[in-house]
Amino acid sequence: MAEQYSYKGKCTGRERLIQAAKILTEERPFDDITIEDIIKTAELSRPAFYYHFAGGKEELRAELINQGLLDQAPTRDAHLAILEAAVRIFSRSGVSAATLEDIATEAGVTRGALCWHFHSKDDLVSAIIQHFGPHSILRPVVDQIELDLQNGVQLDDEMILRRLAEGFYDGFASQGDFARLAILLIYTHPHAARVLADKIVRGRKRITEYIQKRQEDGYFCKNIDANLFLQVIAMLLAMRAIGRGLNDLLPFANLSREETIDQLVTLLLYGMVQRDRSPRDETAVS
């Protein structure tokens, strides 16, 4: 049995609840302790508990962990579930209109558990930018191509383009909510949008340099414009992911994944070629 203490005159109600929880966790796991156990040990009422910890037990858990009184923490799965829920809620409602309660409900966690991981919506936005984005899916594709080439696997232009196109397609298809959120951030969180844009530009630059290196090494058709390739494929697939209800206006709207990639690779192989002069220059000469 947990030892009963008289707290009157010694500490605040919040401190009494924390101390009571600490005493109880010395006997059994935190998850096995009820709010009734805590308020009985703290000699407080249930309304008093929720006055200090509106998020319930999870908010109390977060405070215990923060003070170094408890080793148990919400799992990594909860962290990811919260991020994914935030992307869905933000993309539907906008960052300003969304609430932490909305996100917690969507993620299936308490508000206290959410606050243990993220203290504010701005924290969530920053974490989303770091975690999500087509680059997170495309990078392993590029690494695998590089590894295959190093191991002597014969990959021609079409095979390389197809793998890159598949990586882009799957990245945007699986992260349509993120793509819509990225557009919203331009208006509501311009600084975050700039960070995201910089991240995308850096990622695109790395892939462009990779393609150019492959061209120099003789693996990749030198007539393909690497920058134009990335711009076209990213814009096309981003718009497909974002444009719900507008797909009939977009290229390859009614095609399957495989058909879209076939058409896109053919276009890029034979249409996106480098030119010494722009059309304007040619017009000026003529």
Q: Do both 254 and 189 map to the same domain?
A: yes
d(CA 135, CA 208): 13
| pLDDT for 243 | 56
**Does the pLDDT of residue 134 top 70, yes or no?**
no
pLDDT one-digit tens code per residue, 56-65: 887 888 888 8
Q: Do both 150 and 223 map to the same domain?
A: yes
Out of 1-10, 25-34, 48-57, pick the least confident: 1-10
| pLDDT for 284 | 45
| pLDDT for 223 | 74
Q: Do both 34 and 92 map to the same domain?
A: no
Q: Do both 85 and 183 map to the same domain?
A: no
Q: Do both 27 and 108 map to the same domain?
A: no
3-class SS of residue 70: coil
CATH code for the domain in which residue 229 is found: 1.10.357.10
167 touches 137 (CB < 8 A):
yes
Q: Report yes or no on 183 lying in a domain.
A: yes
Q: Last residue of some domain: 66, 86, 103?
A: 66
Q: Report yes or no on 194 lying in a domain.
A: yes
Please classify residue 43 by burial: count the beta carbons closer than 10 Å to its beta carbon, then call 0-12 exposed, 13-18 middle and 19+ buried. middle
Q: Which long-range contacts (CB under 8 A, 24 or more apart) does 101-107 make?
A: 107/78, 107/81, 107/82
Q: Last residue of some domain: 85, 105, 126?
A: 126
How many percent of the chain have pLDDT more than 70? 74
Residue 268's pLDDT band (boundaries 50, 70, 90)? low
155's enclosing H/E stretch is: none
Q: Do both 147 and 252 map to the same domain?
A: yes
pLDDT one-digit tens code per residue, 194-216: 777 776 666 677 778 877 887 78
What is the DSSP track for 243-279? -TT-GGGSTTTT--HHHHHHHHHHHHHHT-B--SS-H
Q: Do both 191 and 172 map to the same domain?
A: yes
Q: Do both 25 and 141 map to the same domain?
A: no
Residue 171 vs residues 26, 54, 107, 135, 161: alpha-carbon distances, Å: 47, 38, 22, 8, 15
CA 126, 129, 130, 132 torsion: positive or negative? positive
Dig out the tokens for 39 from the structure: 């308020």
pTM to 2 decimal places = 0.51
pLDDT one-digit tens code per residue, 155-164: 877 888 888 8
CA 131, 135, 137, 141 torsion: positive or negative? negative
Q: Report yes or no on 27 lying in a domain.
A: yes
Query: Letter for the amino acid at 274?
Result: Q
d(CA 96, CA 201): 26
| pLDDT for 59 | 86
128 touches 89 (CB < 8 A):
no
Residue 80's pLDDT band (boundaries 50, 70, 90)? confident
| pLDDT for 10 | 61
Q: Report yes or no on 1 lying in a domain.
A: no
Q: Do both 233 and 271 map to the same domain?
A: yes
The residue assigned the tokens 């709010």 is: 35
Q: Do both 108 and 197 map to the same domain?
A: no
The residue assigned the tokens 């932490």 is: 100
pLDDT one-digit tens code per residue, 234-252: 666 666 655 554 455 555 5
Quote the radius of gyration of the chain (alpha carbons, Å): 27
Residue 137's pLDDT band (boundaries 50, 70, 90)? low
**Does the pLDDT of residue 177 top 50, yes or no?**
yes
Q: Do both 105 and 226 map to the same domain?
A: no
Residue 178's pLDDT band (boundaries 50, 70, 90)? confident
Dig out the tokens for 192 from the structure: 């975050």
Overall number of domains in the chain: 3
d(CA 161, CA 124): 34
Beta bridge partners of 224: 273
Q: Which long-range contacts (CB under 8 A, 24 or more apart) does 150-158 make?
A: 155/219, 157/219, 157/220, 157/221, 157/224, 157/269, 158/265, 158/269
Q: Report yes or no on 4 lying in a domain.
A: no
184 touches 95 (CB < 8 A):
yes
Q: Report yes or no on 38 lying in a domain.
A: yes
Q: Do both 107 and 222 map to the same domain?
A: no
Q: Report yes or no on 52 lying in a domain.
A: yes
Residue partners of 1: CB distance under 8 A and separation at least 6: none
Q: Average pLDDT of 270-282?
A: 50
Range of the domain at 122: 76-126
Q: Report yes or no on 5 lying in a domain.
A: no
CA neighbor of 230 nearest in space, from 211, 213, 251, 255: 211
Q: What is the mean pLDDT of the chain?
A: 76
CB atoms within 10 A of CB 27: 12
Q: Last residue of some domain: 66, 84, 101?
A: 66
CATH code for the domain in which residue 83 is found: 1.10.10.60
